[in-house]
């Protein structure tokens, strides 16, 4: 259990309040969620000043500004880098902090905020700031694909297509859970494309033909959607969920089942536990990969791995709570 992704292995370690001499870099992504990010930035600045903490608060509005702010924070003197946004923003910051001694803080400003829930950070901004000021830290395990960090999940096939559709839907009707579900319905109405995967699972060769491969690391998120694979996470491995070849009608049935009662026990989903997965395809050479709600195009082969206790985060008292009803 020491390697468990689900339990985060231990409770947060008590710490003194964040040392102001090290400084705090706060990066807020204006494109995450629906709240007024300028107002949030003002509140963060006021809070840091009231606690005597030295901090720089940056609101970014484009992907270029986000990349520049992250690079500046990673190279700077601040001991803590706070990512304000959704899980995709937090994962991007975490990737930049790999191998450094910097601590990652989280301001949950996205739609679902599963990573914040995983590490016990409240979704209320003021309460999240109190957690940051307390400074208790934990080591958490994360996934990695081709040297990019993912915190909750990574997938190929249908899910990246769904996320691209979701962005289109968001632009049309705004960001909401309803928009997410509508996007899923639109994608499932199309004939699925099947991927022919040549894999190595912890070095063992295997092959599959599938419309979707999903790799999970966050037990809370998987429990919330009743996705099988908790035993993998409890044993310190990635949960690899592979859909069997299904047509449109069967995909609709499995989607309805997932919505109504989850996927536990679904024969259409194969679950494999592994610490490292290599995925090759004859075609295409470059493939969209969904990671924590964002889509990037990566060269194959894809190399997924679990990085045990590799990320230091500021965490709250509920870290590791896998109750899907956590607010």
Q: Which residue has the higher pLDDT, 318 or 119?
A: 119
Please state which of the four CATH numbers 2.40.50.140, 2.60.200.40, 3.30.70.20, 2.40.30.10 is assigned to the domain occupying 150-307: 2.60.200.40
Asked if residue 154 has pLDDT above 50, the reply is yes
Return the percentage of the chain with pLDDT > 70, whole number: 89
The length of the chain in residues reads: 327
State the DSSP H helix or E strand holding residue 303, giving kind and residue range, or none if neither: strand 302-314
Q: Which CATH superfamily is domain 24-134 in?
A: Probable inorganic polyphosphate/atp-NAD kinase; domain 1 (3.40.50.10330)
Q: Which residue has the higher pLDDT, 304 or 7?
A: 304
Candidates 169, 46, 72; CA nearest to 38 is 46
Q: Could you report the per-residue pLDDT of 92-133, keeping only the tens digit for each? A: 999 999 888 999 999 999 988 999 999 999 999 999 999 999
Where do the domains of the chain lie?
Answer: 24-134, 150-307
Q: Could you report the per-residue pLDDT of 67-98, keeping only the tens digit for each? A: 999 999 999 999 999 999 999 999 999 999 98
Phi, psi (rounded to 5 degrees) for 269 = -115, 120
CB 152 within 8 A of CB 144: no
pLDDT at 221 (0 to 100):
92
Average pLDDT over residues 30-46: 89
Q: How confident is the model at residue 320 (pLDDT cuts 50, 70, 90)?
A: low
Q: Could you report the per-residue pLDDT of 165-207, keeping only the tens digit for each? A: 888 888 888 877 788 778 888 887 787 789 999 999 999 999 9
pLDDT at 226 (0 to 100):
87
CB 322 within 8 A of CB 220: yes
Name the strands in the sheet holding 294-299, side by side, starting at the edge strand that comes first in the sequence. 269-274, 238-243, 212-216, 153-157, 286-291, 294-299
pLDDT at 68 (0 to 100):
97
Least confident range of 31-35, 116-120, 224-228, 254-258 = 254-258
Region for residue 5 given its phi and psi (left: phi exceeds 0; alpha: psi -120 to 50; beta: otherwise): alpha
* CB under 8 A, 24+ apart: contacts of 58-67: 58/25, 58/26, 58/27, 58/28, 59/28, 59/30, 60/27, 60/28, 60/29, 60/30, 61/30, 61/31, 66/27, 66/29, 66/92
Q: How confident is the model at residue 13 (pLDDT cuts 50, 70, 90)?
A: low
Lookup result for tokens 């947060």:
12
CB 130 within 8 A of CB 17: no
């Amino acid at each position: 259990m020491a390697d468990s992704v689900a339990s985060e292995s231990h409770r947060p370690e008590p710490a003194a309040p964040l040392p102001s001499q090290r400084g705090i870099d706060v990066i807020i992504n204006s494109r995450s969620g629906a709240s007024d990010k300028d107002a949030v930035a003002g509140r963060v600045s006021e809070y840091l000043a009231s606690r005597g903490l030295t901090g720089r608060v940056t609101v970014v509005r484009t992907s270029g500004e986000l990349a520049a702010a992250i690079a500046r924070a990673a190279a700077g003197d601040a001991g803590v880098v706070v990512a304000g946004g959704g899980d995709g923003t937090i994962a991007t910051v975490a990737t930049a902090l790999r191998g450094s001694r910097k601590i990652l803080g989280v301001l949950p400003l996205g739609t679902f905020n599963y990573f914040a829930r995983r590490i016990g950070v409240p979704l209320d901004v003021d309460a999240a700031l109190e957690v940051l000021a307390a400074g208790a830290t934990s080591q958490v395990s994360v996934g990695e694909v081709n040297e990019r960090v993912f915190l909750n999940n990574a997938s190929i096939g249908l899910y990246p297509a769904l996320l691209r559709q979701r962005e289109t839907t968001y632009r049309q009707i705004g960001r909401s859970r309803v928009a997410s579900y509508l996007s899923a319905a639109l994608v499932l109405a199309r004939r699925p494309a099947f991927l022919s995967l040549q894999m190595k699972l912890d070095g063992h060769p295997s092959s599959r033909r599938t419309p979707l491969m999903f790799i999970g690391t966050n037990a809370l998120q998987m429990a919330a959607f009743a996705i099988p694979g908790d035993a993998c996470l409890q044993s310190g491995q990635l949960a690899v969920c592979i859909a069997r070849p299904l047509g449109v009608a069967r995909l609709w049935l499995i989607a309805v089942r997932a919505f109504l009662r989850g996927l536990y026990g679904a024969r259409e989903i194969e679950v494999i536990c592994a610490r490292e997965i290599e995925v090759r395809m004859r075609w295409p050479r470059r493939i969209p990969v969904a990671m924590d709600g964002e889509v990037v195009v990566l060269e194959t082969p894809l190399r997924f791995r679990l990085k045990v206790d590799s990320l230091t985060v500021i965490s709250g008292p509920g870290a590791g709570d896998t109750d899907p009803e956590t607010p």
